[in-house]
A = this chain, B = another copy of it.
Amino acid sequence: MRRLCAIAIGLIAVLACSQQSPQHAQATEPETGQWALAIHGGAGNIPRDLPTEERDAYIAGLTVALDRGVAVLDGGGTALDAVEKVVLTLEENEHFNAGRGAVFTHEGRHELDAAIMDGSDRSCGSVAGVTTVRNPIHLARLVMERSPHVFMAGPGAEAFAVSMGLEPVDNSFFDTQKRRDQLDRALREEQERAGLGTVGAVALDRAGHLAAATSTGGLTNKRWGRIGDVPVIGAGTFADDASCALSATGQGEQFIRHTVTGSVAARVELVGMDLEQAAHQVLFEVLRPGDGGLIGVSRAGKLVLLYSTPAMLRGLADASGRREISIWE
């Protein structure tokens, strides 16, 4: 990961040019009534000469997560169960910036955010700034299904987790050496930096319902209880059977300011735009080059994976048998 950061500045110039004619797009249109799934492990500056073992770890992690989601959907399970399972699997994998392996805050701790949304009735659950919950995406689901609320933060959210029977973990459970090294470097340079690896998933199930889930450790060296776009419904996470399901990754502040996933869905629902066109417009005409990426699935099962960064860790699968894991284009 050190090398990723080291070459980030050099890539800015590349980005500034490459975004003029964005080519980082994938789309597939399975038959209606079938299932479809897209997942991401974060968008950012991943060098093409990434050490083999690191690349293999990303690909293995995405593969396992994709497989688990596919198993749910192919077996007739719900989109909601599929996206939770995918994100929970990535939270458990220390290579991704969510759950174990999350980046460190300025104070050398971890504060995790997550959200899940069920497109069938727009029910949703978000948690922010939790420090003792092993799987924030599961807590987000409990907020959605077992509380009258949709958004909980900090110690209150943790008390709710305990009341739901979740065993708290010590905050050090999330520690990894790679992330500590990133914090040490960020502290020396006195800046917060993006921790590549927000994770997310979107799915259409056989019953025709959509769902989205996103989870993150946020920014290395973040301060002041910063909350990013992940738990903000309509920013980093959104699902509505009337339009699409979306999960974003990137510069959280930009995704909040431009209500990114809500704006994409509005283009689909209100203007009748194709999901790919809608996502493309928001990512490349509203946001700035390099701000990030998003994955989406339409109610017809069309999958869209778009990013304005050099790379996005991602995967897709659908009932037609298509199955892909990718990092660069």
Contact = CB atoms under 8 A, between A and B. Distances in A.
A192 B148 CA distance: 9
Contact of A154 (B126, B129, B192, B256): B129
A228 B148 CA distance: 11
A155 interface: yes
Given A156-B226, A233-B259, 7 more contacts: A122-B257, A150-B256, A160-B224, A163-B224, A232-B232, A259-B259, A263-B266
A78 to B, nearest CB: 18
**How many copies of this chain are found per oligomer?**
2
Q: Which of A111, A129, A224, A256 has the most CB of B within 10 A?
A: A224
A221 to B, nearest CB: 11
A23 interface: no
B153 A129 contact: yes
Interface string A122-163: 111010110000000000000000011111111111011001
Contacts of A157: 224-225
Contacts of A126: 227
Closest 5 CB pairs of A and B: A156-B225, A266-B266, A234-B259, A160-B224, A151-B227
A125 B230 CA distance: 16
B129 A156 contact: yes
19 contacts: A122-B257, A122-B258, A128-B128, A148-B192, A148-B253, A149-B224, A149-B253, A152-B224, A152-B227, A154-B225, A157-B224, A159-B224, A160-B223, A233-B257, A234-B259, A262-B263, A262-B266, A266-B270, A270-B270
